[in-house]
Structure 1
Amino acid sequence: MMQQLQPTRMHWARAVPSDFGGQAPAPRSGHTAVAIGGSKVVVFGGFADKRFLADIAVYDVENRLWYTPECSGSGPDGQPGPSPRAFHVAVVIDCNMFIFGGRSGGKRLGDFWMLDTDIWQWSEMTGFGDLPSPREFAAASAIGNRKIVMHGGWDGKKWLSDVYVMDTMSLEWTELAVTGSAPPPRCGHSATMIEKRLLIFGGRGGTGPIMGDLWALKGITEEDNETPGWTQLKLPGQSPSARCGHSVTSGGPYLLLFGGHGTGGWLSRYDVYYNECVILDRVSVQWKRLPTSNEPPPPRAYHSMTCIGPRFLLFGGFDGKNTFGDLWWLVPEDDPIAKRDLVPNVGSDSNHSTVTGDAQQSALKESESQSDESPMLDLAKRLGIPLSVEPSASFVDEINDKELVELSSRLIGESLPTTDQLACIQALRDHWRSSPSSSIQLQELGPLLRDYQRLIIRRFVENPSPTFLEREDRRLFHLKNASQLRMDDIPILLGEYRTLLST
């Protein structure tokens, strides 16, 4: 039996000026960043300050230098290359970066470009065959060293589910005729070739929901001698939550998924942005959480993550309010960058509401001195949960939780006197213990979340043991209110709540 390799423990470090020479790219989201031959990273386009961008920034890996190459070629408006755009696709074949589509203003684009990074020359390619329609938020990947596969996207009116293969030698596009069941149409997803299969994950779907499904497409190339067909994969491990605008980067035996955004919950109009790392282990074929030794960067979507040897370089993105221009390294713990023990300073760029590192600890200590809710803060510290500088949660006793008491009284009706409030609350807990997640009403979510957090605090105060802290059923403890719950959080909340009730 093949021994399963455990993920290498990794370390996040914010890039410092001494990491690079030259001028790093300006803040943006919806750009692309591709690694070419292990020697350079090419950043193109994006969106910032209500403007679509068309600039090129190159990171020279060996010389640790950012520079702007002088590109030649004939493009629109006298520019040497493509018009400004964001949310396009970029794929590398040899030393060439191929660009397709995207958006500029309200227009979806369908033009196709190649940048020869040896001589820095742009060429607009005249494609042949089944040309794809203009689109943004599509997903694409290289097939070997000659072809490109592209899936889905948004054309301004509908979500797409088509699959195109493009031969970079003949410039011929072919729409793949796929039989059988297929993934729902989507955009903002990821597409990655693994061996002879194309894996797609997540995205926003045809009626607007954000998805968390994983599909594999076979028969992409003629050499496979397989009829093209999709298979939905259900892999073991803790799969990522539904999201779009994330990145999936291939690095050694893993695919590394980072960031993206998901639905903000039943009571919220806003999306939730992520910053955890999830890996798909290509050897054991299962999802795993990537162990990191410190706090990750602020949550974001529509960023770029590029693999440079054993390191990953994160750049840019958007969190619903801020466009980022920060650069972060994700490196093995024994990497020299990790050893310099950089303390992230999130507040300088992002106005983000959470604090990390030393700032988090000092904020927690300050809050402890000003609040009687120290069990919550103590538990949060020991669980490693980032908290707002001003925690707003108030863990009152059940009998003083007015919403909980009223809900329990309405549930019981006449079977118990409403004056027997503790009995009513116990009956409500029994109701939650036995109810499926689909039957939970909106007005129940707030009292349920508070009671879940109340039970965690109570168990911790009664028994602050290492065993309690090592458990993984505290994933929603940090939420400030029910509006932050996503739909797929409800089964998790109920499951963890029932575990707490039984202990």
Structure 2
Amino acid sequence: MAMVSQHRSRSLLTRISNLDLTESNCSSHIGLKFMKQLKLKHTHSSNEFSHKTRVCARSKSLVLQRNCSMSKPVMTVTWEPVAPLGPNAAFHACALVGKTLYFHGGIKDASSSSVPSKQFFKLNLDTLLWEKVAAPGSPALSHHAAVVLENRYFTLIGGWNGKKRLASIYVYDTVENKWMEMTHQGFPSGAGLSSHTATLTTNGKVLVIGREGSLRTQRKHGNMYILSGSVASNQFIYTSYTNNIISRSGHTVNLIGNNLYILGGRSDMLFEKFVGIDYKKNSSCMLLDSIGKEINSSHQQHLEKLPCGRKHHISAATNDFILMHGGETFDGKAHAPVGDLFLITLKPITKFYQLHSSQLCRSGHACIVLPNRIFIHGGRSGKNVINSGLYELKITTS
């Protein structure tokens, strides 16, 4: 199909990727360069996010202290199991509709990592009871993305079907308990999406970020699309927003206001920020705010160098902070998923803190962020383990 283009003349987009993590000022900041172009501008730097500046920091402590005095409160951050007997799944999709979490597809068996599942489960957050959803038409997918439209439609975008990457859109109606495949246009013929991201914006459109590719070919650059349409019309349209972004796969995206933050998905350039996005999302999580405020008031030293590149991690965001956990690193030291837990402070300047290295090592796990809770489910650990449990992030002060 022909590409649907978008004439962009109403906003200025700026790509910001100049993090200064020098020892001399003991702080990291984002250098602002407001570039007068209508497309995202690359500002490559040999010393930004390069192999020379990547380091996998390890912390021996599992706690955050306000100061060196033992009389002051100490905050501990941990993952606690809350619903252990769920579906075995990694590289799956999940979303919240009302008080119910829906989990779809993914890889069930690490020995058959190219075979996606069509399994479909839900979990009520009040009862914490798992239930298999019996609805015909569930597609077999992995490495796909999910959003919820109109507080009703659990919507799957792209993914791997065992033979090729797709740009297809499948919708599960939570009211009528049925699956529907939508028609779509605007995505390049023969290409598809996997290990991409989909972010619902305040105006109901979906920001899709990921490199496109067929089974045999893979583009060197990344792509950003706006997906618009409705279930009622049975039609969705991919509109190209820009292709002037760095190619990534297995990354995470956080849209905070009109600022876009992209983490991981490649061996270098761990962190990217874009300002001036035409679309926005309001992010709020009191739990994450509490952790961030504790970090800001403590004497914990931020990282002087960025963590090493990683993929298939998770991230959660609030207005001023981003939390990043797990993934697979590119440094060659870890041959299995890691349990690193980082906090990124965004204001007044950007800094990375390592909270701790937990025993909960995961990649390809799913993350759910609520106003006062953060959950992760499933994922791969070790070399051949696909997990089934739901964990909740907890903080305690003693």
Look up the match of 1:12: 78
Alpha-carbon distance between aligned partners in 2 of 1:287 and 1:115, rounded to the nearest angstrom: 40
Q: Give the structure with the larger helix fraction.
A: 1
Indicate conservation of the 8 Å contact 1:213/1:242, yes or no: no
1:196-345 map, 5 Å:
196-204=258-266, 209=267, 211-216=269-274, 218-221=276-279, 237-238=302-303, 239-251=306-318, 253-265=320-332, 271=335, 273-289=337-353, 291=355, 296-319=358-381, 320-333=383-396
Q: 1:91 aligns with which of 144, 147, 161?
A: 147
Amino acid across the alignment from 1:58: K
Amino acid across the alignment from 2:260: L
Runs of 4+ in 1 over 6 A off after TM superposition: none
Deviation at 1:87, TM superposition (A): 0.6
Alpha-carbon distance change, 221 to 12 in structure 1, aligned in 2, over 3 angstroms: closer
Deviation at 1:119, TM superposition (A): 3.1
5+ residue gaps in structure 1?
1-5, 72-78, 223-235, 340-503
Please give the per-residue CA displacement for 1:1-57, whole angstroms capped at 9, x wherever unaligned: xxxxx9994532442xxx45xx832222111222234x1211111102214211111
Q: 1:171 aligns with which of 219, 222, 236?
A: 236
Alpha-carbon distance change, 249 to 117 in structure 1, aligned in 2, over 3 angstroms: farther
Q: 2:90 aligns with which of 22, 29, 37?
A: 29
1:147 counterpart = 2:205: yes
What count of residue pairs does the alignment treat as equivalent?
291
Alpha-carbon distance between aligned partners in 1 of 2:141 and 2:130, rounded to the nearest angstrom: 21
Indicate conservation of the 8 Å contact 1:183/1:215, yes or no: no
Q: 1:191 aligns with which of 239, 246, 253?
A: 253
Deviation at 1:125, TM superposition (A): 0.9
Alpha-carbon distance change, 69 to 215 in structure 1, aligned in 2, over 3 angstroms: same
Indicate conservation of the 8 Å contact 1:10/1:290, yes or no: no
Equivalent position SS for 2:211:
strand
TM-score (normalizing by structure 1) = 0.52
5+ residue gaps in structure 2?
1-64, 67-73, 281-300
Alpha-carbon distance between aligned partners in 2 of 1:177 and 1:214, rounded to the nearest angstrom: 15
Q: Larger relative contact order (C-alpha < 8 A, sep ≥ 6)?
A: 2
Deviation at 1:211, TM superposition (A): 4.4
Alpha-carbon distance between aligned partners in 1 of 2:274 and 2:359, rounded to the nearest angstrom: 30
Deviation at 1:166, TM superposition (A): 0.9
Larger radius of gyration between Structure 1 and Structure 2: 1
Q: 1:101 aligns with which of 140, 146, 158?
A: 158
Alpha-carbon distance change, 70 to 121 in structure 1, aligned in 2, over 3 angstroms: same
Equivalent position SS for 1:126:
strand
Deviation at 1:203, TM superposition (A): 0.7
Indicate conservation of the 8 Å contact 1:152/1:186, yes or no: yes
Indicate conservation of the 8 Å contact 1:251/1:307, yes or no: no
Deviation at 1:217, TM superposition (A): 5.4
Alpha-carbon distance between aligned partners in 2 of 1:113 and 1:34, rounded to the nearest angstrom: 14
Equivalent position SS for 2:86:
coil
Please give the per-residue CA displacement for 1:83-132, whole angstroms capped at 9, x wherever unaligned: x1111111223332221121122422221112222333322111234468
Q: CA RMSD in A?
A: 3.1
Q: 1:57 aligns with which of 108, 121, 133?
A: 121
Please give the per-residue CA displacement for 1:237-280, whole angstroms capped at 9, x wherever unaligned: 53443111111123564322111111243xx6x64532122123
Alpha-carbon distance between aligned partners in 2 of 1:330 and 1:322, rounded to the nearest angstrom: 22
Indicate conservation of the 8 Å contact 1:255/1:279, yes or no: yes
Q: Give the structure with the larger strand fraction.
A: 2
Deviation at 1:214, TM superposition (A): 1.7
